[in-house]
Homo-oligomer: A and B are copies of this chain.
Amino acid sequence: MKIKALQNFLQAKKTDFALLYNVGMDVNPNFYYFTQYSGVGCLVIPKNNDPFLIVPEMEFERAKKGTIKNVKKLEKKRFFDSVYENIKGKKEVIGIDTSAFTLAAYKNFRKTFKKCKTLDISQKCRELRIEKTKKESKYLKKSCDYASKILKSCLNNFKDFKKESDVASFLRNETFKQGLELSFPPIIASGKNGSMPHYEPKNVRLNQGLCVLDFGVKYKGYCSDVTRTVGINKISKQEKEKYHKLLQIQESSINKIENGSVCGNIYQSVVDSLGKDAMYFTHGLGHGIGAEIHELPNLTLNSKDKIKNNVFFTIEPGIYYPRRFGIRIEDSIVFDKKPVILTKVTKELIVL
């Protein structure tokens, strides 16, 4: 995917090849984006030749199922020695992903590549990922469909849940039943817990009042993200008013988005609309979605990122009153001549 675009960049920057690696359990998203393989390995993208992947022997069969067809077995003791031996051309300037390259790995890298220069390609990789290909768009839309369906069915079954963890279990189970993964552990934050945007659901009774449900799935590695805030048993007049204020802001900020809209401006307009409540808006307004749950564009203060066709992102304003309650309303959106909401779950304030 877009390997050619990266190669054009390497050529323009007089960089001989790009080197990305992946270790352990936590997948480096730039590595995954190019390889569609999530195991341990080193990816080499020469500026003119076909890319190849070097993996430990035990990962060889699995790696070949990814998009990089030239897979080699690690034959040296160290990855970077194997990379060195397999590079045919010059090794003078090497593109590396500094956002995933640790200092420890860099020290090892320097033992082998003593004299080369390096170019940071992390930002370029992230930028390549902003505008989605047809295949990625298909995966993301499907991912949003699944997330919506599962969240709807969760709301329909809400009467069965007694604890925050019951709601989370339901969302997880439905996700895995469909053969999907989670984008992130579901957030179920009831009552005052809702004031912590990244609260982890507990084995505790659902509190009366507002409850924030933040959920998303991965379909073929592509992430959806949706949040709804619902009432449990009974909500106060203030909670109701704040909910409707926030909903109106969320909808109007989506409707105003045009081709070329600057993300920092979208953020600022939400801050302006919130008025005094802006001080309780302690979370970003949104983020790109794709192979990673948080990727470019950034919908934060001062962000220069722009919305264009085939960009997938979230709009999720929230108000978090410490130790009282929280509200967040979030949709996943694709810009396709206009903003199109992909997470089709009601935003009417429902009290369950």
Please report A residues at the B interface, Cβ cutoff 8 Å: 24-26, 39, 56-59, 61-62, 96, 98-104, 106-107, 120, 122, 165, 168-169, 172-173, 176-177, 179, 181, 184-185, 195-200, 203, 282-283, 293-294, 320, 322-323
Contacts and interface: CB of A to CB of B under 8 A. Distances in A.
A31 to B, nearest CB: 13
A22 to B, nearest CB: 12
A36 to B, nearest CB: 12
Contacts of A184: 25
Nearest to A96: B103
4 pairs of A and B residues whose beta carbons are closest in the complex: A26-B26, A98-B103, A98-B104, A58-B282
A286 to B, nearest CB: 15
A99 B99 contact: no
Contacts of A196: 58-59, 61-62
A100 B99 contact: no
A62 B198 contact: yes
A61 B173 contact: no
B102 A100 contact: yes
A294 B173 CA distance: 26
Given A59-B198, A62-B196, 6 more contacts: A25-B294, A62-B200, A98-B102, A98-B107, A169-B173, A179-B203
A99 B165 CA distance: 34
A183 B251 CA distance: 39
B101 A120 contact: no
A163 B324 CA distance: 46
A177 B196 CA distance: 24
B98 A197 contact: no
B102 A101 contact: yes
20 contacts: A25-B294, A26-B26, A58-B198, A58-B282, A58-B320, A59-B198, A62-B199, A62-B200, A98-B107, A99-B104, A100-B102, A101-B103, A103-B106, A103-B120, A104-B120, A168-B176, A169-B173, A172-B172, A172-B176, A173-B176
A210 to B, nearest CB: 16
A37 to B, nearest CB: 11
A122 B108 CA distance: 15
A61 to B, nearest CB: 5
A291 to B, nearest CB: 13
